[in-house]
A and B are shown apart, each in its own frame.
Chain A
């Protein structure tokens, strides 16, 4: 052991991370004078779960750390901008019986964009895949979303989701005022996803399978009048997704999804719904199509701007003959009824309570009840 090593061992363990954090703060403060938006924002949430599910992939009854989400959105010039988001997660969705609750750091978004006009911004990097409403509106912002949990089928890739929640590629987005409202569009192209041991992987390190994902979302938002704030639209994407078990390719599936969504806040109501229809086929076989579907409907009502009772019904019906759902950890059909209430203690702090009954018997699963209490903040 060298003298230098001995000297380093005498340094208290908290010194290095503390100095690193102080350095980051100093750099941020100095840089802020030059780069607009270099302020760290984020979300954090903790919750308690009580479940009757046996071998639940989300873990057992008890207190849980949800996630810590940090993001910055620097405007580097008038036209060039960036969006970077890191998340520390503690509760990965795992196969029943596996260990979970281990912390993991994910680069959620790393995207650099150019503002061509108010009608067009082009981003490149890893972004939230633009489909439906929930995935781009709330994502890891637990304090923003009305319920404790996302609809299960819209879960993150490593939490039982059945859709690629992220894409690594290029994304064009914009809006234009037309008629009594605003036309919105998103179009993207990126690395095709793959399934690795039951989890969708969006391939951050290159397109190993050379399959391209592409998709689009078109919408119209009413401004003023009886339909003020109603945003409705359609979405769809297509890609070949291969399944790998321990590195061995076991299935190749052409995945095609189309659907629709709506979000509306008339007065103190918030209403939202999303629908997805899958038409998947084994790649290169000319075999039969396997049709599946997923949807949710949710209604919330805000009393005094503080208390929001809510109800949601969600269901997916997934073909087990489909090589895509066959291997996904979350690829089993279910239906769930959920009721809950959200209390906004402050504009930045929400306390949420909800309870659900979930039925997964269609594909041989369990029927169970769950309740959650969550405290979620933004800063």
Chain B
């Protein structure tokens, strides 16, 4: 039996797919993770990712960006878009000589770095394994 779908039916199908997929994209969870034992609080996250906080006690903090989750992180946590975030770090680097977070390509790369580097902090969109500490879920 040949299944035929009219143009109108295709439109409805696409609309349903979009409406069901969009919330999942818009509300993806963001987990901010840190090296186990790193002494930070959720209130520190914004200061770290804007270059205002560089030390946790005597440990140098190593913030990591995650290009696959950055848009979501910036929107939910820093309330910034990518252009403003880049502009903020250009100014910070030029004025204070502080460099922006290193950019990692995926959740896996961020998790691998955070779990093996003291002072590391990053963010991912998938529930992380137990060998890193979740500082806060947004």
Could you list which residues of chain A lie within 8 angstroms of chain B, going by C-beta atoms?
Answer: 36-37, 41, 71, 73, 75, 78-79, 81-83, 111, 113, 115, 117-118, 121, 136-137, 141, 144, 175, 182, 305, 347, 378
Q: A36-B99, A115-B55 are in contact. Are A144 and B91 (CB under 8 A)?
A: yes
Contact across chains for A144 and B97 when beta carbons are under 8 A apart: no
**Shortest Cβ distance from residue A89 to the other chain B in the assembled complex, whole angstroms:** 17
Determine whether B76 belongs to the interface, using a CB cutoff of 8 Å to chain A.
Answer: no
Q: A41-B90, A118-B54, A347-B86 are in contact. Are A82 and B95 (CB under 8 A)?
A: no
In angstroms, Cα B52 to Cα A115, docked, is 12
Subset of 6 A-B contacts with CB under 8 Å? A37-B99, A73-B98, A113-B97, A115-B54, A141-B94, A144-B94
Instruction: Return the contact of A73 from the options B52, B86, B97, B102 (Cβ within 8 A).
Output: B97
Instruction: Return the contact of A118 from the options B53, B94, B95, B102 (Cβ within 8 A).
Output: B53
Q: A37-B99, A115-B54 are in contact. Are A73 and B90 (CB under 8 A)?
A: no
What are the 6 A-B residue pairs with the smallest beta carbon separation, nearest first?
Answer: A78-B60, A83-B97, A37-B99, A73-B97, A347-B83, A81-B97
Which of chain B's residues has its CB closest to A109's CB?
B97
Contact partners of B86 in chain A: CB under 8 A: 347
Contact across chains for B90 and A378 when beta carbons are under 8 A apart: yes
Determine whether B39 belongs to the interface, using a CB cutoff of 8 Å to chain A.
Answer: no
Which of chain A's residues has its CB closest to B56's CB?
A118
Interface size class of B (residues with CB under 8 A): 10 to 19
Determine whether B93 belongs to the interface, using a CB cutoff of 8 Å to chain A.
Answer: yes
In angstroms, Cα B53 to Cα A195, docked, is 40
Determine whether B41 belongs to the interface, using a CB cutoff of 8 Å to chain A.
Answer: no
Please indicate which of the listed interface residues A82, A175, A347 has the most CB atoms of chain B within 10 Å of its own CB: A347
In angstroms, Cα B64 to Cα A36, docked, is 13
In angstroms, Cα B93 to Cα A83, docked, is 9
Determine whether B6 belongs to the interface, using a CB cutoff of 8 Å to chain A.
Answer: no
Contact partners of A71 in chain B: CB under 8 A: 94
Beyond A37-B93, A83-B97, A113-B97, 19 extra complex contacts between A and B, CB < 8 Å = A36-B102, A37-B97, A41-B93, A81-B97, A82-B97, A115-B54, A115-B55, A118-B52, A118-B54, A121-B96, A136-B95, A137-B95, A144-B90, A144-B94, A182-B52, A305-B83, A347-B86, A347-B87, A378-B90
Tell me if A's interface is mostly helix, strand, loop or mixed.
strand
Contact partners of A37 in chain B: CB under 8 A: 93, 97, 99
In angstroms, Cα B90 to Cα A186, docked, is 21
In angstroms, Cα B85 to Cα A261, docked, is 25
**Shortest Cβ distance from residue A170 to the other chain B in the assembled complex, whole angstroms:** 15
In angstroms, Cα B99 to Cα A83, docked, is 11
Contact across chains for A73 and B93 when beta carbons are under 8 A apart: yes
**Shortest Cβ distance from residue A31 to the other chain B in the assembled complex, whole angstroms:** 14
Contact partners of B91 in chain A: CB under 8 A: 137, 144
Contact partners of A115 in chain B: CB under 8 A: 54-55
What does the 1/0 interface line of B81-123 toward A look like (CB < 8 Å)? 0010011001101111111001000000000000000000000
Contact partners of B55 in chain A: CB under 8 A: 115, 117-118
In angstroms, Cα B59 to Cα A79, docked, is 10
What does the 1/0 interface line of B53-67 toward A look like (CB < 8 Å)? 111000010000000
Contact across chains for B52 and A175 when beta carbons are under 8 A apart: yes
Contact partners of B95 in chain A: CB under 8 A: 136-137
**Shortest Cβ distance from residue A36 to the other chain B in the assembled complex, whole angstroms:** 6
In angstroms, Cα B95 to Cα A175, docked, is 14
Q: A144-B94, A347-B87 are in contact. Are A75 and B52 (CB under 8 A)?
A: no
Contact partners of A144 in chain B: CB under 8 A: 90-91, 94
In angstroms, Cα B108 to Cα A26, docked, is 30
Please indicate which of the listed interface residues B54, B83, B91 has the most CB atoms of chain A within 10 Å of its own CB: B54
Contact partners of A75 in chain B: CB under 8 A: 99
In angstroms, Cα B83 to Cα A175, docked, is 26
Contact partners of B93 in chain A: CB under 8 A: 37, 41, 73
Contact partners of A113 in chain B: CB under 8 A: 97
Q: A144-B94, A378-B90 are in contact. Are A73 and B99 (CB under 8 A)?
A: yes
Contact partners of A36 in chain B: CB under 8 A: 99, 102
Chain B, range 4-49, C-beta contacts under 8 Å to A: none
In angstroms, Cα B86 to Cα A37, docked, is 15
In angstroms, Cα B102 to Cα A36, docked, is 9
Contact across chains for B60 and A79 when beta carbons are under 8 A apart: yes
Contact partners of A78 in chain B: CB under 8 A: 60
**Shortest Cβ distance from residue A184 to the other chain B in the assembled complex, whole angstroms:** 11
Contact partners of B60 in chain A: CB under 8 A: 78-79
Contact across chains for B97 and A41 when beta carbons are under 8 A apart: no
Contact partners of A111 in chain B: CB under 8 A: 97
Which of chain B's residues has its CB closest to A140's CB?
B94
**Shortest Cβ distance from residue B51 to the other chain A in the assembled complex, whole angstroms:** 10
Which of chain B's residues has its CB closest to A37's CB?
B99
